[in-house]
Amino acid sequence: MQHIFASLACAAVLSACATASSRFTDAHATAELQPTKGSSVTGSLMFEQRLDSVVVSGEVRGLTPNTEHGFHIHAKGDCSSGDGMSTGGHYNPFGRMHAAHGDAVHHTGDLPSLRADGAGVARIQFETSQLTVGSGRGDDVVSLGLIVHRDPDDFKTQPTGNSGPRLACAVIARKY
């Protein structure tokens, strides 16, 4: 009988460990933005998994001072086209409508807009439970594209938000 209780206790501990590890804690990814043809926009972003949410932080440089820019995760981690179009459309694995990041329903790839300061630098930091790093699920950002657009996102025009040309492109890469 003691062996049965010991076995049940071990199973409970192993189950708790499996649940904790399913949260993908301590996973990190980076995105090094490179300018598209005719642009000088660059930047560096970090995606850090913290329990059930991801903290996105970094900065983008070379923007027109005091402007707002659409900022999205795109479906393909491919910046080879020179104009950023090889990243495809917004990342939308669940077939939702385009909207603002904080809205109840939006593309997985819809991120908060970038706002450049007087020096043309946009600093961003936000936390979201809508993304994961390295989970392998539909909300995983690893190996996807990251795009900075020229214009503000209107959060209405489907499916892109009317954000204009792509100024910078990156592939989100897992850091081990």
Instruction: Give the CATH number for residue 75.
Output: 2.60.40.200
Structural domain includes residue 76: yes
Structural domain includes residue 80: yes
Task: Determine contact, residues 19/13, Cβ cutoff 8 Å.
Answer: no
pLDDT at res. 119? 98
Q: Name the domain count of the chain.
A: 1
> 120: which 2 tokens?
């043309």
What does the alpha-carbon distance between residue 108 and residue 128 come to, in Å, rounded to a whole number? 11
Structural domain includes residue 67: yes
pTM over 0.95, yes/no = no
Structural domain includes residue 12: no
pLDDT at res. 32? 98
pLDDT at res. 157? 94
Structural domain includes residue 8: no
What does the alpha-carbon distance between residue 58 and residue 44 come to, in Å, rounded to a whole number? 6
pLDDT digit string (tens) for the chain, length 176 residues: 454 444 444 444 444 444 444 445 679 999 999 999 999 999 999 999 998 999 999 999 999 999 999 999 999 999 999 999 999 999 999 999 999 998 888 999 999 999 999 999 999 999 999 999 999 999 999 999 999 999 999 999 999 899 999 999 999 999 98
Structural domain includes residue 59: yes
pLDDT at res. 102? 87
- Tell me how far CA of residue 77 lies from CA of 29, 85, 123, 169, in angstroms: 13, 11, 23, 9
pLDDT at res. 25? 63
pLDDT at res. 26? 78
Structural domain includes residue 16: no
What does the alpha-carbon distance between residue 47 and residue 60 come to, in Å, rounded to a whole number? 15
pLDDT at res. 16? 44
Structural domain includes residue 106: yes
The parent domain of residue 99 ranges over 25-175
Residues belonging to the chain:
176
Task: Determine contact, residues 31/146, Cβ cutoff 8 Å.
Answer: yes
Element (H, E) at 61: strand 53-61
